[in-house]
Amino acid sequence: MITIDTEKVSPHLQEKDIAGRMPAAIEALDSLLEKRGPGAGMLGWLDLPHMSEREIDELADTGKAIREENDCLVVVGIGGSYIGARAAIEALPFEAGFPVYFAGNNLSPVYLDALLSRLDGKKFTICVISKSGTTTEPAIAFRLLKRKLIETFGPDAIKNRIIAITDPAKGALREMATKEGWKTFSIPPDVGGRFSILSPVGLLPCAAAGIPVKGMLAGALGALETFIRSSGTNDALRYAVVRSLLHDRGTKIEVLSTFHPELAMICEWWKQLAGESEGKDGKGLFPASTIMTTDLHSLGQFLQEGARDILETFLVAKHPLRDLTIPSDQQDLDNLNYLAGRSVSEVNAKAFEGTRSAHEAGGLPVITIEVPSITPDTVGALFVFFEIVVSVTGRLLGINPFDQPGVEEYKTRMFKLLGKPGA
Ligand code: PA5
């Protein structure tokens, strides 16, 4: 379902270099599957695609009930407790028909105020997601949204309009949910935020939006089975090896480029996954993204002729689910009739091919990741594929891909500035 073309890194890496590091990648994969090595206690994400029918049905049924009883859902969360759900929902516009709004992923009063106004007169449910249950951004948004619920429906009605997704036993959100009697789903303790898209964290908002979560999980399971094979045909391992070798030889940035704007948030999800997992101990490829063709009219210049310390990875869907034919024009004043009768997708595909060969000629190592179409199963597959690649790369770089000690620094300083008791 996912194919990866690493042929175009050949001017930068020899086949023997890749083969030389493959045993280390296989050992890295084995350490993940055997749940050993740094971060061994946070490998529960490998089990998520095996979710039971009962759990899947409960998520799907809850999502259906949210859709039937409301005008919209507000999902409150940040980082791994937010971005995967948004990525899937935006990638699948033909599946997701029910409005899902996101809050708690910033501290902008303008954003929050606009959201609160948008909820005027609407029937809505809040899904508040936080593993720790104490993260400042979602906690502030949740307070404001809870007040809106009370103002709109009265204090007694809110019990059935809040769903909390959090740690099964501890944290402020779990305590509140237990005390108030809200419906809850659990985030497995051995699953870190950025690896939680295939847990209720990502699946409940997707189910509410109308995405068949069974399909997403089936795609994820297929990818898991394909990419945990230790054989030479495992392209996830090969991609991880290429990334780590280029890193060691001076590549500093990996740009994920796509010609499908609906994948923009998938790129953001990948940036969070790769950035928070690999960027530590002075190591890691800085993850960036471009959305084409719009970025060909901005960052394209840099990719073509700027600093040559970039790996460019193209994320491609071969067959778009919708297409349009370019009309003919009698006057042809725009000289576009040579394209009349051809599809927009064909032009997009040629733009991709032309860009890839131009950037390759410009001296960038180039990788292509391709899925047949953007569907629930391929989106699920992409999540697992990237999780494996990032985890194996982390092991090859000699860091723990499953912690994020660096994110505490801003919090410590912010709390001090805010006068938080005990800060
Ligand atoms: O990947 C991570 O662990 C983080 O991005 C967290 O998901 C993010 O900080 C939110 O944490 P929490 O779910 O505890 O509110």
Residue 145 CB partners (closer than 8 Å, separation 6+): 74, 76, 103, 116, 119, 126
**pLDDT, average across residues 12-41:** 95
Closest CA to 256 of 288, 278, 286: 288
Q: What is the pLDDT of residues 118-159, one digit of tens each?
A: 999 999 999 999 999 889 999 999 999 999 999 999 998 889
Q: Please, what is the average pLDDT of the chain?
A: 96
Residue 120 CB partners (closer than 8 Å, separation 6+): none
* Domain definitions of the chain by residue range: 3-34+217-397, 44-211
β-pairing, 253-258 vs 310-317, is: parallel
**pLDDT, average across residues 370-392:** 98
Any bridge partners for residue 291, and if so which?
258
**Is residue 378 scored above 80 in pLDDT?**
yes
Instruction: Judge whether 213 and 56 are in contact, CB under 8 Å.
Output: yes
- pLDDT value at residue 415: 94
CA dist 183 and 186 (Å) reads: 10
Q: What is the pLDDT of residues 54-82, one digit of tens each?
A: 999 999 999 999 999 999 999 999 999 99
**pLDDT, average across residues 4-13:** 91
**Is residue 160 scored above 70 in pLDDT?**
yes
Closest CA to 200 of 319, 303, 57, 100: 57
**Is residue 98 scored above 70 in pLDDT?**
yes
**Is residue 282 scored above 70 in pLDDT?**
yes
- pLDDT value at residue 1: 86
Instruction: Look at 110 and 422; give whichever has higher pLDDT.
Output: 110
Q: What is the pLDDT of residues 242-256, one digit of tens each?
A: 999 999 999 999 999
Amino acid identity for residue 258 in this structure: T
Q: What is the pLDDT of residues 228-244, one digit of tens each?
A: 987 767 999 999 999 99
Q: Which residues are catalytic?
A: 276, 297, 411
Tokens for 295, please give them.
């970025």
CA dist 248 and 283 (Å) reads: 9
- The 3-state DSSP class for residue 218 equals helix
Distance from the CA of 147 to the center of ligand 1, in angstroms?
24
- pLDDT value at residue 232: 63
- pLDDT value at residue 278: 97
Q: E-assigned strands of 161-222?
A: 162-166, 183-186
Pick from 21-35, 227-241, 277-291, 314-328: least confident:
227-241
Distance from the CA of 80 to the center of ligand 1, in angstroms?
5
Ligand 1, atom 5: nearest CA belongs to which residue? 79
Any bridge partners for residue 252, and if so which?
none
Q: How far is CA 94 from CA 91, 123, 407, in A?
A: 9, 23, 36
- pLDDT value at residue 350: 98
Please determine whether the domains at 3-34+217-397 and 44-211 fall in the same fold group of CATH.
Answer: yes
CA dist 247 and 237 (Å) reads: 15
What percent of the chain lies above the pLDDT cut of 90? 95
Kindly state which CATH superfamily the domain 3-34+217-397 is placed in: Glucose-6-phosphate isomerase like protein; domain 1 (3.40.50.10490)
Question: What would be the CATH architecture of the domain defined by 44-211?
Answer: 3-Layer(aba) Sandwich (3.40)
Pocket test for ligand 1, best of 83, 131, 191, 277 (most atoms within 8 A of CB): 131
Q: Is the CB of 80 under 6 A from ligand 1?
A: yes
**pLDDT, average across residues 30-56:** 96
> Token pair 């040579």 is at which residue?
338
